[in-house]
Structures are given as structure tokens and as C-alpha cells.
Amino acid sequence: MTGADVLLLAVGAVAVGAGVLVVTTKHLVRAGLYLVVCLGALAGDFLVLSAELVAWVQVLIYVGAVVVLLLFAVMLTRAPIGASDDLDRPGWPAALIGGGAGLGLTVLLVDAYRWGTVALPRAGTAERLGEQIFQSWVLPFEVLSVLLLSALVGAIVLSRPDIGRPGPGADPAAERPGVDVETGGRR
């Protein structure tokens, strides 16, 4: 057991423990905060595995942006402060499938790698990863930028109530009694 192993064990235990709390806690807001702990521990894992850039991007995007978005959603859906009892459904199937997937993967990976050691590669600094992305992976990078744009447009269209409604001919308000046809069209 080297120092790296001890560190990996420690941050791994923190990540799994926080993950357990994310899926079992009764408090909506606390689930988001435990998610911060879990993702931060994973960023530590990445650092120990010498993936510097991925670790900092994880902190920036996951801990900084995604969790804040999730907490916004919790607040916007008027989540109760305090414990709520209706968050779970009775879940033996969930425990069975989730436990089966987790333990199955564990057995598979332990069987594949046993207790062997590998040498850590050179650190994945921004310079080296940038060289790889802009030499070998340019096309996926560009496709991802298009995908981000379409996700942005899709999110805007989804959340604007006045876009994407049926036109005057197909408006269900036209068939409702009490609403005259002229005002039942597009607003």
C-alpha cells in the first residue's frame, strides 16, 4: 500500500458514503449538498490518478454549475424545507437491480485486476490534453459544440410557453364553448 493507494481508498470511501446519502436522504436540499461532497471526492480521485485537467473541470462544471442548477430546480419546484416522506416508492426491485449492477460490476472488475499495481502515467495537464483534443479528437469536439448549441435551443424552446404551440387552426381553445374563435388563436 503506497500513499496513492491510501488516498484512493480514503476519497473512494467518502465518495461512496456521500453517494449512499444522496440516494437515501429524506431531505431534498441535503441530497444536493451530499452530491457536492460525492463529486468533490471524485475530483480528488481524479487528482490522485494524475488527471489534473479533468479534476478541475469536474470542480468547475459539476460542483460549480450542475449542482447549482439542481438546487435551483429544487427551489423552483417549491420543495419543502425539512424531511419529506413521499420521495421514495417501495423499492425491492430497485435494491435488487441496483445492488445486482453494483456488485456484478465489482466482481467483474476485481476479477479482472486483482491486487496488481500499475505505474501512474504522465500527468494529464491542460497542455497535453489540449494537444490530444485538437489533434486526434477535433471532429468529436466540434460535434459536441453543435450538440451543446442544440441542447441550449431545446431548453429555451421547452421552457418558453409561447413557442411551439399549435397554430390557430389546431388550437383546442377554438372548440371550447364560451371562447370565441378569433381570440382562441395565437397570442
Partner 1 sequence: MRPVIPYVTAALLFGLGVYGVLRRRNAVLVLMSVELMLNAVNLILVTADTTARAVLPHSGQVFALFVIVLAAAEIGVGLAIVLQLYRLRATVAVDDVALTEPAHPVDRREPAVLDREAGR
- Tell which positions 48-107 bind partner 1, by CB under 8 A: 48-51, 53-54, 57-58, 61-62, 65-66, 69-70, 72-74, 76-77, 79, 86-89, 91, 93-95, 97-103, 105-106
Supply 110's cell numbers. 476485481
Which amino acid belongs to residue 163? I
For residues 38 and 19, is the Cβ–Cβ distance under 8 A?
yes
Q: Given the complex with partner 1, which of 9 and 82 has the nearer CB atom?
A: 9
Binding to partner 1, residues 2-31 (CB under 8 A): 2, 4-5, 8-9, 12, 15-16, 19-20, 22-23, 28, 31
In the chain, what's the furthest Cα-to-Cα distance?
78
CB environment 132-168: b (16+ within 10 A), e (fewer): eeeeeeeeeeeeeeeeeeeeeeeeeeeeeeeeeeeee
The residues in 128-167 that bind partner 1, with binding defined as CB under 8 A, are 128-129, 132-133, 136-137, 140-141, 144, 147-148, 151-152, 154-156, 158-159, 161, 165
CB of 180 to partner 1, least distance (A): 8
Any contact of residue 181 with partner 1 (CB under 8 A)? no
> At closest approach, how far in Å is the CB of 182 from partner 1?
10
Residue 93 near residue 21, CB atoms below 8 Å? no
Cβ(174)–Cβ(181) under 8 Å? yes
CB of 49 to partner 1, least distance (A): 5
**Residue type (1 letter), 77:** T
How far apart are CB 94 and partner 1 at their closest, in Å? Answer: 3
CB of 16 to partner 1, least distance (A): 5
- All 3 cell numbers of residue 114? 486483482
DSSP 80: P
For the packed helices 28-48 and 3-24, what is the interaxial angle rounded to 10 degrees?
160
Pick 1 or 81: Cβ nearer partner 1:
1
User: What type of residue is 25?
Assistant: T
Smallest gap from residue 10 Cβ to partner 1 (A):
10
Can you tell me which of 118, 139, 163, 170 binds partner 1, judged by CB under 8 A?
118
Query: Is 176 among the residues that bind partner 1 (CB under 8 A)?
Result: yes
